[in-house]
Amino acid sequence: MARTLLLWLPTQAALNRGDACEPSWLRVDDGVIVDSGQDDGWVDAWERPQDDRGDDRLVALAPVADVPLRWHHYPDAAPAQAAAIARLDTLRTSLGDAAALHIVAGQPADAGQAVPVAVTTHAAMTAWTEWLKAQGLAPAAIIPAAATVPPPDADSLWTAELGREQVLRTDDRAFASDPELDPLIAAERPIVPLDAERMREALLLSLSAPPLDLLSGAWQPKRSWAIDPAMVQWIKRLAIALLVVSLLIPIIYAIRVNSDISRADEAVVASAKKAGVTATDAAAAEAEIDRRLAAAGGGPLAFSVPASALYDAMRDTPGVALKTLSHRTDGTLTTTIAAPRTEDLNAVLLSLQARGYKVTAQPMAGTDGQQMANITVRAVP
C-alpha cells in the first residue's frame, strides 16, 4: 500500500522565535485521506515497522506567508523555454538581494500553459530543512502550499484555508490573505470561499503531480549510493565463477594435449608392432626402428639424408665449394666446405640448422685465401 504523509511546515517567523510547532498534517493511503490533525499525531500516523515501509513518501507544504506564487503566461514559448523565461522575469522584478532568493519555476505540460513561479529565501529553506532533520524526516518534495489552490472562476477570487493559513488566490497570484488588503486586491471582484471538498481534491491532485518542488537547484538532495548486499553477493559469486573457469580452461587443455599424446604414442607402438618391433613406449619403438635402419644402411641415418640437406644448403648459397666428405654409421656427416667469405659459410650452417639438423663447425683459413670450415651434421634431427 502506498502511503503519503502531507506535513505543513512552520513559518520562518515561528521557527526564528523558537515557538513550539504542532504542524497540520494529512495521511493519504492509495489516494484517499485516512487521517488528519493539527498536532503531533502525525508521528503515530507515520510510524510503521521498518520492514513494512513499501512506497511511503513524505511531502512537505511550505507556508504561503513565506512562499507566494505567481503564474506567468508565454503563449508562443515551449514549456522548458517558458519556465526559464518566467524564472528570469521573476528574479528581475523581485525585491532584495538576488543571491538571498530561492526562485523555482515549474514546467508546464504543454506550450501555452501558465508557468507557476515560487519565491522564497535561502534562509527559509535552511530553517525548514533543519527543522525536518530535527524531526528525523527526509521529504521527497517541498511544495508551496499556495500551488495546491486551483484557479478561481472568471472575474472572482478564491479564499481557502490551508493548514492554519488563509490563502487568497487570483487568476495569476496566490499569497497569504489579509483582511485589510484583500478588498483592495479584489477591486470590486467577489471573494468566494473555496469549497472544502474541492480544495481536498486539488490537494490530492497536487500530490500526484506536483506543480513545482522547492528541493531544486542548490537545494536538490544529494544522491546517496547504497550498496545492495544481494548485488555484492552476486558479484562475489560471479568473480568466483570466472576464477574457476579461468583455471579450468588451461587444465582441460593440458588434459586434452596429454590425451592426444597418449593416443599418438599408442599408435606408434601399434605401428612398430606391425613391423615386428616390440616396445613399451613410442621412444623405445623409434630408437629400435632407427637402429634397424642404420644396420640396414637406410632410414634417417643413411648417407643420402644429411648429404641431400647439405647439397640443398650449398645450392642456395653460390660460391661455397665442397672439399671433403665422409659419413659414419651413426649417421654423422663430416665435411669441409670453403667460400670466399665467412658469411657464405654461415649461411650454409644456418640453412642446415633451419632444416632441423644439429651442426658443429670449426673455422680455419685456406692456403688460397678462402675461408674454410670443418663441419659435422647429425643425420637424425
Q: Do residues 233 and 204 share a domain?
A: no
Structural domain includes residue 132: yes
Does the pLDDT at position 330 exceed 80? no
**The pLDDT value given to residue 51:** 45
Cβ neighbors of 345 (< 8 A, separation 6 or more) are: 320, 337, 339, 361, 363, 371, 372, 373
Residues 259 and 337 in one domain: no
Q: Is the domain of 234 the same as that of 181?
A: no
In this predicted structure, the answer to whether residue 48 has a pLDDT above a threshold of 60 is no
Q: Are residues 53 and 78 in the same domain?
A: yes
Domain limit, last residue, from 189, 219, 249:
219
- Examine the domain organization and report whether 150 and 90 are in the same domain: yes
Task: Find the domain containing 181 and state its range.
Answer: 3-219
Find, among 263, 291, 265, 264, the residue nearest to 277 by Cα: 291
Same domain, 169 and 257: no
Last residue of a domain, one of 293, 308, 331: 293
Distance in angstroms (rounded) separating the CA atoms of residues 179 and 84? 34
Contacts of 183 (CB under 8 A, 6+ apart): 191
Is the domain of 319 the same as that of 285? no
Q: Where does residue 49 fall: left (phi above 0), alpha (psi -120 to 50 degrees), or beta otherwise?
A: beta
Q: What is the largest CA-CA distance in the chain?
A: 136
Task: For residue range 98-123, list pLDDT tens digits in order.
Answer: 888 999 998 887 887 889 999 999 99
Average pLDDT, the chain: 83
% of the chain with per-residue pLDDT over 90: 10
Clarify whether residues 203 and 345 are in a common domain: no
Residue 224 lies in a domain: no
Q: 10 Å Cβ neighbour count for 58?
A: 19
Residue 300 grid coordinates: 634417417
Q: Is residue 306 part of a domain?
A: yes
If asked whether residues 280 and 316 sit together in one domain, one would say no
Determine the residue type at 75. Answer: P
Residues 160 and 281 in one domain: no
Statement to judge: residues 185 and 320 lie in one domain: no
Strands 321-327 and 191-193 come out as unpaired
Cell representation of residue 145: 502550499
Q: What is the pTM of this model?
A: 0.57
pLDDT computed for residue 163 by the predictor? 81
Out of 241, 258, 293, a domain closes at 293
CA-CA-CA-CA torsion sign (239, 242, 247, 248)? positive
Q: Tally the domains of the chain.
A: 3
Q: Is residue 325 part of a domain?
A: yes
